[in-house]
Amino acid sequence: MDLHIAGPVLLWCHEGTALVTHSTTTAQLIAGDVYYSPESVTVEENGLVIPLLFPDVRISGSARRVHVGVRWSDVIVHEFFAQPRLVYARKASVLGVAAHL
């Protein structure tokens, strides 16, 4: 399933892989990757990618991928869903993702 997400956005690749496209750049994500994009993206999932959407993202600079490892999956998912103030207005999308966990 392709996701179209308005940027800036922070993505967590929970499992599997994904191809993230913005402007003319693409990035391959694997489980355990965090990806920041300052602009809107299209995500082609072959797994589960969770958009960590904040009302006011205070990250700057170019798009980048950081591999923190799948051992952080439980912590990242717990922290994101445990803090209702961080849940983006598109609750249907978040609930749709939560149903897969």
DSSP states of 22-84 as a string?
ETTEEEEEETTEEEEESS-EEEEEEEEEEEE--SS----SS-EEEE--GGGHHHHHHHHHH-G
pTM above 0.85, yes or no: no
Neighbours of 52 (CB within 10 A): 20
Report which DSSP code applies to 97: H
pLDDT tens digits for the chain (101 residues)? 688 888 888 899 999 999 999 887 899 999 999 999 999 999 998 988 988 877 677 888 899 999 999 998 888 887 777 655 444 433 434 444 444 33
Q: Which residues make beta-bridge pairs with 34?
A: 12, 66
